Structure 1
Amino acid sequence: MLGVVHNVTSATRLFDVLPLLATDHRVEVIFACTGSSPFGRDVDPHLDRNRVHQVGWSELAERRVDLTISTSHGGPLHELDSPVVILPHGMGYNKYLSAETRKSENPVFGLAPEWLLSGGVPIASSLVFSHDEQVERLRDSCPAALDVAVVAGDPCFDRMLASAPLRRTYRDAFGLQPGQQLVFVSSTWGPESLYGTAPKLVRELRDELPLDEFAVAVALHPNIWAHHSPWQVEMWLDDCRRRGVVLVPPEEGWRAGLIASDLVVGDHGSVTFYGAALGKPTLLATWPEDAVDPASPVGMFIAAADRLTPRRPLGEQVRAAIERGRTHQEITRFTTSVPGEAARLLRAEFYRLLHLPEPEAPALTRVVPLPELSPRPPAVEIVRADLRIAEDQLSAALVRYTADVAPLPAGAGLMVSTGEPCSAQLELADIVVHDQPGDAHGWIADTLDAFPGAVLATMPVNGSTWVVGTRDAGFVEFTSAGGDGRVWSVVVLAWLREGRRVADFPALVRLQAGQAGSASLCRVASAEWSSPRSS
């Protein structure tokens, strides 16, 4: 059996369906790349990571192939002698491939005769669609292909549906804290995409949304990574990463991100539509109506979906969209005619074409894998804590935003992490943070000596205890379960700015950060420790 790879996007969808066959000892899968995609330069590394071997396209004439599965129409599929199954690698067929096709009466990519027929005959033995509405559009665009049309659902969407009960697990993988909401930003490829038209939007969202209320993640289409190189994309997004934005790898992770999310900000790509189909509120940052068939599900969706406009505060729009909770189920119902049934229907079709009986065990839908992510706190934060003392108990309301350097809002401080900040930011820091456990007392002494402008330095001694040190007034140990331990230093900074002494710091602090509350036991120690540099 042959799996045809066009580019990384098509390969990821291919790996969704191949396990339906590849576990059968009667079937051996080989892979070949058509070489027809302008975004194919990352195919070889992707296949290497998946530990599969490729066969050269010219070698296929000498190999016995009983079935070919392709998740793209690209390449010389008509040259193959075996039965060919073609599946979409996105949410059906919605986009025009070029400006020229938009101006004509041609149907969208994947439904046009030039993609489906060779010599007037269908290239595919089975042309798989996820919903009956796609077959109705096929009836108008290419009736000669109707006889090979098969409605078998959407295996990618089914995997997300099956994974929905694991939402908490995926949220943990994205580093979400209690009370945080995840804004998931998705961009398709091309100049009319979200990233093509608003490359600064991700940073702007992160800067305007409070850190303890919102996390931000971004997933760019694999074609963007392939065209510009992973290094270049990571450089373009480096400022976002330093602000705590989670960068989703191009191959996998976007599905887990959709499940984990509370809001999807996107464009006319499949990922945004999938988010709405999963019941997520959505905002469109760009909506090129002439890029998609208005009669297609994505065309109807971008005509109806709420817009994100740069002329209004982004935080206000994000909160309003989550509150409205609009998901457009009347449109997203066109994702699949047979939800949860793709594995069963596709396996039956594959074995029919192989002329083999199906295995006795039922076809299984696999959940999507945990993404390989490295969520990290921002390098620089604007912080403020409002204190209230009642009955010998200290309560603090915390607000944090990402930031560059000054000027700061009134009453705020600058907290800078040792995780790749700029030297100018460290020089201006009120609080210097180190996130790795170690010799807190010694590190604090050295760090405050090194940065004369800093008021405090803080680091953990273990997973539950953080030490906040002052220059000459001792230090405070905070012991709490979970959460971001760096926040306790903000409470100490506010305490000192009110003219209070460290020695009078209470034994219990209750903290409210966004929607989450936490408490910490505190222990004040004397200042009778000295820097190695001053001894």
Structure 2
Amino acid sequence: MSPVEQQQDERDARWSTYPNSRTVLAVVHNITAATRLFDVLGVLASDPRIRIEFSRTGSSAFDADTSGFLEARGARETPWRTALTQSFDLAVAASYGGELHRIQAPLAVVPHGMGYNKFLAANRKSQIANHVESPVFGLSEEWLMYDGRVVPSLIVLSHSEQRDRLLRSCPEADPKALVAGDICFDRLHASTPLRATYRRAFDVRPQQKLIVISSTWGRDSLLAVHPELPRTLAAALPADDYRVTLAVHPNVPAHHSRWQLSEYLSGAARAGVHIPDTVDDWRTALVAADLVVGDHGSVSFYGAALGLPLLLATAPTHTVDPGSPIAQLLTAAPRFDESADPTHQIRSTIADHVADRYAEITTLTTSEPGCGAAVLRTALYELLDLAEPTEPAELDALPLPRRPITGPDSHVVQVVTGSDRTATITRYPAESLRAGTSPRPGTHLAAGVREPRVRWLQLADLVIGGAGNDTERWITDTLTRMPGCAWATAPESPGRWLLGDGEHLLRVDGSDHACRLFASLAYHLVARGGTVPDLAGRWTMHCGGEALSVTAIETTERKATRSSAGKP
């Protein structure tokens, strides 16, 4: 029995259920690194011979919320100072920094993004004082060596080009390097057969385009250079043709706080931008996406590697190694022009794109496509001096997203009527009115009640309510309290809505989406001289590439009147 095994027995033998004979220390720097650690540890975690303990180094500037992240995953922490006094059979990290040299175990370090690309100094004060260029994070002596020795026992690289750069910048570390592929990208690629499934789970309709806006962290990132871009882009797009989701690097909320980030993005959320609940949702969104608007972060590169069109909102080539794949992509990909028509840019970028446009660059994602788990598992079991399981190393497909992408709740609406009781309806997020403008002539404001601005309620021509009891009374009371609003509508039951103007009441049968659209059609027709009885019957509306139909009946049970509000 090894000393480590003996120590393990002394600590846990009396209480252990599983026959653990090896102990692995998962070294956690921050949430970003932790997400990649969970990918990597999956090749070990189901083996009953192995026990995994987690410990935070406390060295990262972005350590905030990391403990809560681990707790939410059900992982138990060992205090870092305690971990440094104990011996382990293996330690695995997904970042550098902190007292890694003090760990009493062979240390394997994996990348936490798309390889190693960015310049980053371990000692920022030293860099400024000496006016030197930052070393490449993860490939330089500054990160890999301590007191003249290479700290990791295993330096995991995703592609052989990284080994070439490692050999140039820190030749002493080359014997420790292993090109093992990219487990994260392998999961992304392996999940592409479920693209239609993810889109359905996001409630993205087949004809809609899903845009992923991706921002890494720091002063050169998309959110730093163009902090309003998520809001302004979503507000400028036809709301029924597009869905927009945001992929924000976990270091951003770690520094600014989740509350502060949600406030910064509140306008974007009102414009319909989906703000994911978890740090993993970006992967599912990327598989489901039609286009990425990004920067020099890994998400942009992974999107291009999946064959997606890419527009760069910022391309800070000075922040990355000029010999890296990211640098090549920043040079090759087109720029997003905030001063130009965003709808035209997005449509033309998608229409003109060919899936292998960046293939010469994105082939540098991994040297072991589809084999990352197998190669890495073999290396880790060798370090553990433990026989590998006989079953093959496999990855799980990405989980379904937790929430649908709902889009905005309030809209500026344009209606164009056709013949034979048809209409074409185009809606834009009401957030487009943020500059203080009123709806353009020929349009109207349909305000939802989910999260309206007070000014939207003041300008609303139509208010749209949610599900609840006594819909007819809600319509009457709401219109009495909003004298400038012409119509109100809300669901009465699944597939049936009520629509009223304070004097007349219509019962409308159709999908929720169709009933909301019909309310805008009704407002448009009556505002232009039509009568409520003219609204009765079947209507077909074309919106966002779909044809939706409703049947409207003017009810005679009890007509709503504004004066009856508040009376029994």
Give TM-score, length-normalised by structure 1. 0.95
Counterpart-to-counterpart distance in 1, 2:212 and 2:386 = 43
User: Aligned pair 1:30/2:53, yes or no?
Assistant: yes
Residue identity (%):
40
- 1:296, distance to aligned residue in structure 2 (A): 0.3
Residue 518 of structure 2 aligns to a residue whose secondary structure is helix
CA distance in 1, matches of 2:213, 2:407: 18
8 Å CA contact retained: 1:178, 1:516: no
Q: Distance in 1 between matches of 2:111 and 2:550?
A: 53
The aligned counterpart of 1:367 is: 397
For 1:377 and 1:419, the matched residues in 2 are separated by 12
1:130-179 CA distance string (max 9 Å, x none): 11111111121111111111111101111111211222232234332342
- Matching of residues 297-308 of structure 1 within 5 Å: 297-308=325-336
SS of equivalent residue, structure 2 residue 51: coil
1:380 aligns with 2:387: no
Contact 2:231 2:269 in 1 (8 A): no
1:227 equivalent in structure 2: 255
Contact 2:62 2:251 in 1 (8 A): yes
Summarize deviations over 1:423-465 as a string: whole Å, max 9, x none.
3321221110112254322211221222111111111123322
Aligned equivalents of 1:278, 1:377: Cα separation in 2: 25
Preserved CA contact (<8 Å) 2:496 2:507: no
Cα offset for 1:466? 2.3
- Report if the CA contact (8 A) 2:504-2:559 is conserved: no
Matched positions, count = 531
| Match for residue 283 of structure 1 among 311, 318, 328 | 311
Checking the alignment, whether the CA contact within 8 Å between 2:526 and 2:532 is kept in structure 1 is yes
Per the alignment, residue 409 of structure 1 pairs with 440
Distance, in Å, in 2 between the alignment partners of 1:484 and 1:176 is 16
Query: Would you say 1:121 and 2:160 are equivalent positions?
Result: no
Q: Which amino acid aligns with 1:196?
A: A
User: Quick one: distance in 1 between partners of 2:404 and 2:385?
Assistant: 46
Aligned mates of 1:130, 1:526 — CA distance in 2:
70
Query: TM-score of the superposition, structure 2-length normalised?
Result: 0.89
Match of 2:18 in 1: none
**Which whole-Å deviations, capped at 9, do the CAs of 1:381-415 have from their partners, x for residues lacking one?**
1012111122xxx1110110112365211211111
Are the aligned partners of 1:21 and 1:27 in contact in 2 as well (CA < 8 Å)?
Answer: yes
Counterpart residue identity of residue 472, structure 1: E
Q: 1:60 aligns with which of 83, 87, 95?
A: 83
CA contact (8 A) 2:498 2:505 kept: no
* Mapping of residues 234-253 of structure 1, within 5 Å: 234-249=262-277, 251-253=279-281
**1:485, 1:141 → 2: CA distance?**
63
Alignment partner, residue 533 of structure 1: 566
Distance 1:37 1:328 in 2: 34
Could you tell me which residue of structure 2 aligns to residue 205 of structure 1? Answer: 233
Structure 2 counterpart SS, 1:486? helix
Residue of structure 2 equivalent to 1:487: 517
Q: 1:59 and 1:474 mapped to 2: Cα distance? A: 71
1:170·1:257 contact (CA, 8 Å) conserved in 2? Answer: yes
Moved more, 277-286 or 249-258: 249-258
Q: Would you say the 8 A contact 2:243–2:407 is kept in 1?
A: no
Q: Does the 8 Å contact 1:177/1:483 carry over to 2?
A: no
Whether 2:423 is the aligned partner of 1:396: answer: yes
Look up the SS of the partner of 2:43 in the other structure: helix
For residues 97 and 534 of structure 2, the distance between their equivalents in structure 1, rounded to whole angstroms, comes to: 72
Tell me the distance in 2 between the aligned counterparts of 1:114 and 1:408: 57
Q: Could you tell me which residue of structure 2 aligns to residue 455 of structure 1?
A: 486
**Alignment partner of 1:418 is 2:418:** no
Kindly tell me: are residues 453 and 13 of structure 1, through their superposed partners in 2, closer, same or farther at Cα, counting changes over 3 Å? same
Contact kept, 8 Å, 1:479 with 1:522, in 2: the verdict is no
> Are positions 1:8 and 2:38 aligned together?
no
**Structure 1 residue 534: Cα displacement:** 5.1
Instruction: State how 1:25-174 maps to structure 2 within 5 Å.
Output: 25-98=48-121, 100=127, 104=132, 107-174=135-202
Q: 1:434 is matched with which residue?
A: 465
CA distance in 1, matches of 2:339, 2:460: 32
1:469 match: 500
Counterpart code for 1:145: A
Unpaired stretches in structure 2, ≥5 consecutive residues = 1-23
DSSP 3-state at the match of 2:419: strand
Give the CA deviation at 1:311.
2.5
Find the counterpart in structure 1 of residue 347 from structure 2.
319
Higher mean Cα deviation, 122-131 or 88-97?
A: 122-131
Q: Distance in 2 between matches of 1:11 and 1:484?
A: 44
**Is 1:353 paired with 2:380?**
no
- Deviation track 1:182-217 (CA, whole Å, cap 9, x = no partner) reads 111010001111000110111110111010111111
The 10-residue stretch of structure 1 (487-496 or 465-474) with the greater mean CA deviation from structure 2: 465-474
Asked whether 1:337 is paired with 2:367, we answer yes
Per-residue deviation at 1:61? 4.2
Query: More deviation in 499-508 or 233-242?
Result: 499-508
Distance 1:518 1:38 in 2: 52
Shift of 1:63: 2.9
Return the alpha-carbon distance in structure 2 between the equivalents of residues 178 and 105 of structure 1.
48
1:500 equivalent in alignment to 2:530: yes
The 8 Å contact of residues 116 and 137 in structure 2, kept in 1 or not, is answered as yes
Q: CA deviation at 1:471?
A: 2.0
> Structure 2: how far apart are the matches of 1:105 and 1:379?
48
Structure 1 SS opposite 2:165:
helix
1:233-272 CA deviation, whole Å, 9 max, x = no partner? 0011111112221012452211111112111001001111
For residues 496 and 534 of structure 1, the distance between their equivalents in structure 2, rounded to whole angstroms, comes to: 28
Q: Using the alignment, how far apart are the partners of 1:447 and 1:320 within structure 2?
A: 43
Q: Which runs of 5+ in 1 are unaligned?
A: none
**Greater CA deviation, 282-291 or 443-452?**
443-452
8 Å Cα contact 1:510/1:517 also seen in 2: yes
CA contact (8 A) 1:415 1:430 kept: yes
- The CA RMSD over aligned residues, in Å, is 2.0
Kept in 2: contact 1:246–1:375 (CA 8 A):
yes
Q: Distance in 1 between matches of 2:428 and 2:201?
A: 22
37-46 vs 397-406, greater mean Cα deviation? 397-406
Q: CA deviation at 1:107?
A: 4.3
Question: What amino acid does structure 2 have at the position aligned with 1:117?
Answer: M
In structure 2, relative to structure 1, the CA distance for the partners of 1:469 and 1:113 (3 Å cut) is same
Decide whether the 8 Å contact of 1:186 with 1:267 is kept in 2.
yes
Letter in 1 for 2:36: R
What is the distance in 1 between the residues matched to 2:379 and 2:466?
A: 53
